[in-house]
Chains A and B, each alone.
Chain A
């Protein structure tokens, strides 16, 4: 509480890179931060990536100190498995109700040894790994995920289906697994709120012509990111479904652009990044990119594109009419701008889909009393002038929750939102 009775604590919704950056900056200035994250892990979408464009830096390396800081920082209360249910009050004194789901593992006792995983008899698809590998019902999403304390998946755990099973508890030497844990309703008072709920990828299975989930070896960009990841389902080995290395691949841009009605800003660069990565790992692979307009603004992105081109990546300006199975390969039927039709056969197709607002954005907008634009992203107060300020005083937005953008822009948003919070008239 400060002199004028205003609360100095801040609620940050979403522990992706924007939420983490804002939390760190606010905590550094002495504010108490409540960082609410719906998943069991922090880092959002960014930690799923192996490398980031255009520097091709290892994402895990650059994120690790930031994520560790959030977990260690005394000024940051991390509430994972949590979601905001209600907000009342006014700027300077918001009352927030948070529902915290039980993880069934005690965060203090667990030392993250992982002894509970093997004995668990249940195996299901791992969502973090884009369902390319399995996990147990007691799990952490991937090696290195933070916090490193596992959670129990109550939809698949046998105990929650009424069956007797003690396997994980018996394996735990610290008695850290506690099935008596309950979901909690937490109420906090904060002075300001930053919404940093990020994005999700458009699901290409809605567009049948791309063959996604119909033909083998048609992958979405997120799936490929996990395949490329050194801590992913294939330990970074780029392989086809039959475990062979691909000899050729096509990357299709703008998947879902027409349907969504906007350009998602980062996908051209993400496509180039995949090309750079693959060329580095498998220099003999023939890569072709299908696009209509190349969106590579800014001082370093064009060079990234030129390097890909000089490295032998083909760029075909065309719209893709169909991707279909053709023997062991995939046949791409496309039409160039001059109207000429053509086909290309490749081993693997990667679809780069649009970025959408995170699930539950509509619900959150309602709870917070902020508006969404027609594309579902949270609206800024003055389009094209402010990005982080909403029409509701004391509530700010940052990162892809506001508009699809790259990492640098997301960090700038988070810092700007923090700056705005720190500058709120006290």
Chain B
């Protein structure tokens, strides 16, 4: 069937018409091969204009449409919709920019007219090589796997389950609650961490949609957004369990830096040097001492030094929550031992946000000393300890104390490496899960359908972990709707089986991991669910096997040809 191309030149009121001689353009285009109809219209994007366009397409039985008007960034969708309504595949519509990039930037009318004609010819050439791509959809599973039963994991599960999604919550330890369940108090309300966790777990249990697996680990996850196949190694089931989900949330938390790696603090060598987690444990009502704060010899400490930023320099980042929770330690200490002398050795006080400065000031009033120290060491001093510090200006000082609490940096847990390999996920340079985009997409990973939340993604507070968990839930609830199919990008890349040489260059360059290698056929195959149509593979392919639909070499070439005639 011969092509019947319709060309519509929009005058855009006077914006195009005052520079471009539309009559001349029409005259130049009308005789062109396959051009069945050329017309002008005052304002094609208007209600009337669109109605006219639709009727005209139907009337002339057009096979392709070129609209010469404003920027496609403004109205490409508008005119593609009109074509669709007129029964024409929207991919067979090309919008040529003769306003922003022609009429508005070319002072001389004759030149503007020539340029408009040239650009429209390129559009005509191009569109006749377009394929009538159909919209594609794929089924998706709305269920979710949440890995990690800490506060972030539990919260994500709760929000998802409240929306009637089936959630599989997997925890490798023997109980849910992660680190938070062991915190006697939380800043700033000084409520108990275990209480918070209990409430959240109660919500989980009340919701029949959540299946919890403790002492279980993920063995394998294959697939992509909407269609992941999960293999679990569970203690309960005494073996393996397989199921499908549509999305995965990684909430595997973090670990404190091992303070024994930093000999200057005497951890592991000197008595009465504790890490913050150990102090929390000591403080817990379930501890051997019943929560009493004591030295190794059973006596009560009269002076405590809290050393901030342990490992900060080595790790190269600030762990965000330590200054704040050290204030909570002050309150705990003072409530048990009102006379205890507390000294903080810190470098920069990190207390951002509307409420935390007041928390700091109120805590300080209880009687703590804050010493800004650039260099801090813990030395033994007969039966006690001495803090040796040096200020920024070089002043040195000694501080004898009974007990030292170290605030170590927060590190990524070992699970990050495991899951990174499983998914080809990226780790950032500090070893945490890398988010898709640092600013715009903090909880999504680069792998579509896999989300990274809480301290697994970076050091943060409980409130921030909860927000991230809710955010991942929000993204999942929005993307995977039960019964709704996933709309796929239409202009994706495809790889010709005939021409593919199996060199895998495309696989290396694809930013989305959207290309897989078929070992049997020794060729690369595009996963159209993941492909974004950027075309980097097509440009990299040495044999020309990879091509982007409707942005293929031969189509772009047609534009080049017309432009240089």
Binding site for B on A (CB under 8 A): 25-26, 28-30, 52, 54-55, 57, 62, 66, 68, 72, 108-109, 111, 113, 173-174, 257, 261-266, 293-303, 306, 317, 336-338, 373, 375, 377, 382-388, 403-405, 407-409, 411-420, 422-425
Chain A: minimal CB distance from B452 (Å) = 12
Chain B: minimal CB distance from A21 (Å) = 8
Task: Knowing A29-B478, A174-B13, say if A264 contacts B352 (CB, 8 Å).
Answer: yes
Task: Knowing A29-B477, A68-B73, say if A265 contacts B353 (CB, 8 Å).
Answer: yes
Known: A26-B478, A412-B467. 18 other contacts (CB 8 A): A25-B474, A28-B479, A29-B481, A57-B439, A68-B73, A266-B352, A298-B459, A299-B432, A299-B459, A337-B372, A338-B391, A385-B196, A408-B439, A415-B474, A416-B471, A422-B163, A423-B473, A423-B477
Asked whether any CB of chain A lies closer than 8 Å to the CB of B421, the reply is no
CA distance A403 to B461 in the complex (A): 14
User: For A264, what are the chain B residues with a Cβ–Cβ distance below 8 Å?
Assistant: 352
Output the residue of B46, B349, B430, B471 with the most chain A CB within 10 A.
B471
User: For B77, what are the chain A residues with a Cβ–Cβ distance below 8 Å?
Assistant: 72
Asked whether any CB of chain A lies closer than 8 Å to the CB of B441, the reply is yes
| In the complex, the 10 A-B pairs of residues with the closest C-beta atoms, listed nearest first | A419-B474, A416-B470, A415-B471, A265-B352, A297-B320, A29-B478, A423-B162, A423-B163, A422-B477, A173-B13
Contact with A along B1-37 (1 / 0, CB 8 A): 0000000000011110000000000000000000000
B348 touches A295 (CB 8 A): yes
User: For A257, what are the chain B residues with a Cβ–Cβ distance below 8 Å?
Assistant: 357
Task: Knowing A173-B14, A261-B358, A411-B439, say if A28 contacts B478 (CB, 8 Å).
Answer: yes
CA distance A388 to B13 in the complex (A): 47
User: For A302, what are the chain B residues with a Cβ–Cβ distance below 8 Å?
Assistant: 312, 316-318
User: For A407, what are the chain B residues with a Cβ–Cβ distance below 8 Å?
Assistant: 439-440
User: For A52, what are the chain B residues with a Cβ–Cβ distance below 8 Å?
Assistant: 439
- Supply 25 A–B pairs (Cβ within 8 Å), ascending by A: A29-B478, A55-B438, A66-B440, A111-B70, A263-B352, A293-B350, A295-B352, A299-B458, A302-B312, A303-B317, A317-B392, A377-B354, A384-B186, A384-B189, A385-B196, A411-B471, A412-B468, A416-B469, A419-B471, A419-B472, A419-B474, A422-B477, A423-B159, A423-B163, A424-B162
A417 touches B474 (CB 8 A): yes
A420 touches B470 (CB 8 A): yes
User: For A263, what are the chain B residues with a Cβ–Cβ distance below 8 Å?
Assistant: 351-353, 356-357
For residue B460, which residue of chain A has the nearest CB? A298
Contact with A along B340-384 (1 / 0, CB 8 A): 000000001111111111100000000000001000000000000
Task: Knowing A263-B352, A263-B357, A337-B392, say if A55 contacts B439 (CB, 8 Å).
Answer: yes
Chain B stretch 372-403: residues in CB contact (< 8 A) with chain A: 372, 391-393, 395
Asked whether any CB of chain A lies closer than 8 Å to the CB of B443, the reply is yes
CA distance A387 to B466 in the complex (A): 8
CA distance A122 to B282 in the complex (A): 72
B474 touches A403 (CB 8 A): no
Task: Knowing A377-B354, A385-B196, A386-B466, say if A422 contacts B439 (CB, 8 Å).
Answer: no
Asked whether any CB of chain A lies closer than 8 Å to the CB of B256, the reply is no
Output the residue of A28, A109, A263, A336 with the most chain B CB within 10 A.
A263
Interface of A is mostly: loop
A375 touches B441 (CB 8 A): no
Asked whether any CB of chain A lies closer than 8 Å to the CB of B43, the reply is yes
For residue A52, which residue of chain B has the nearest CB? B439
Asked whether any CB of chain A lies closer than 8 Å to the CB of B445, the reply is no
Asked whether any CB of chain A lies closer than 8 Å to the CB of B188, the reply is yes
Asked whether any CB of chain A lies closer than 8 Å to the CB of B224, the reply is no
CA distance A420 to B163 in the complex (A): 9
B468 touches A419 (CB 8 A): no
A411 touches B478 (CB 8 A): no
B470 touches A111 (CB 8 A): no
- Residues of B within 8 A of A (CB-CB), count: 75
CA distance A28 to B480 in the complex (A): 10
CA distance A293 to B348 in the complex (A): 5
Chain A: minimal CB distance from B359 (Å) = 9
User: For A300, what are the chain B residues with a Cβ–Cβ distance below 8 Å?
Assistant: 317, 428, 438
CA distance A304 to B334 in the complex (A): 37
Asked whether any CB of chain A lies closer than 8 Å to the CB of B462, the reply is yes
Chain B stretch 314-347: residues in CB contact (< 8 A) with chain A: 316-320
Contact with A along B179-208 (1 / 0, CB 8 A): 000000011110000001000000000000
Chain B: minimal CB distance from A424 (Å) = 8
CA distance A113 to B481 in the complex (A): 41
CA distance A25 to B477 in the complex (A): 9
Output the residue of A301, A306, A384, A388 with the most chain B CB within 10 A.
A384
For residue B457, which residue of chain A has the nearest CB? A299
User: For A57, what are the chain B residues with a Cβ–Cβ distance below 8 Å?
Assistant: 439
Asked whether any CB of chain A lies closer than 8 Å to the CB of B464, the reply is yes
User: For B162, what are the chain A residues with a Cβ–Cβ distance below 8 Å?
Assistant: 423-425
CA distance A383 to B319 in the complex (A): 20
Asked whether any CB of chain A lies closer than 8 Å to the CB of B98, the reply is no
Asked whether any CB of chain A lies closer than 8 Å to the CB of B296, the reply is no
User: For A262, what are the chain B residues with a Cβ–Cβ distance below 8 Å?
Assistant: 353-358
Asked whether any CB of chain A lies closer than 8 Å to the CB of B463, the reply is yes
User: For A338, what are the chain B residues with a Cβ–Cβ distance below 8 Å?
Assistant: 391, 393, 395
Chain B: minimal CB distance from A69 (Å) = 11
A419 touches B317 (CB 8 A): no
B319 touches A297 (CB 8 A): yes
A416 touches B393 (CB 8 A): no
B438 touches A297 (CB 8 A): no
User: For A383, what are the chain B residues with a Cβ–Cβ distance below 8 Å?
Assistant: 188-189, 355
User: For A25, what are the chain B residues with a Cβ–Cβ distance below 8 Å?
Assistant: 474-475, 478
User: For B291, what are the chain A residues with a Cβ–Cβ distance below 8 Å?
Assistant: none
CA distance A366 to B440 in the complex (A): 32
CA distance A407 to B435 in the complex (A): 14
Chain A: minimal CB distance from B35 (Å) = 27
User: For A404, what are the chain B residues with a Cβ–Cβ distance below 8 Å?
Assistant: 352-354
CA distance A289 to B350 in the complex (A): 18
CA distance A25 to B474 in the complex (A): 8
B348 touches A294 (CB 8 A): yes
A416 touches B438 (CB 8 A): no
For residue B156, which residue of chain A has the nearest CB? A419
A54 touches B461 (CB 8 A): no
Chain B: minimal CB distance from A220 (Å) = 20
A420 touches B73 (CB 8 A): no
Contact with A along B410-442 (1 / 0, CB 8 A): 000000000000000000101010010111111
Asked whether any CB of chain A lies closer than 8 Å to the CB of B119, the reply is no
Residue from A266, A388, A411, A423 within 8 A of B441 (CB atoms): A411
User: For B474, what are the chain A residues with a Cβ–Cβ distance below 8 Å?
Assistant: 25, 415-420, 422
CA distance A301 to B478 in the complex (A): 31
User: For B468, what are the chain A residues with a Cβ–Cβ distance below 8 Å?
Assistant: 412, 416
User: For B472, what are the chain A residues with a Cβ–Cβ distance below 8 Å?
Assistant: 415, 419
Chain A: minimal CB distance from B50 (Å) = 12
Chain B: minimal CB distance from A175 (Å) = 10
Chain B: minimal CB distance from A343 (Å) = 18
User: For A419, what are the chain B residues with a Cβ–Cβ distance below 8 Å?
Assistant: 159, 470-475, 477
For residue B160, which residue of chain A has the nearest CB? A423
User: For A261, what are the chain B residues with a Cβ–Cβ distance below 8 Å?
Assistant: 357-358
Chain B stretch 35-67: residues in CB contact (< 8 A) with chain A: 43, 45-47
User: For A303, what are the chain B residues with a Cβ–Cβ distance below 8 Å?
Assistant: 316-317
Task: Knowing A302-B317, A388-B467, say if A403 contacts B438 (CB, 8 Å).
Answer: no
A387 touches B477 (CB 8 A): no
CA distance A300 to B320 in the complex (A): 12
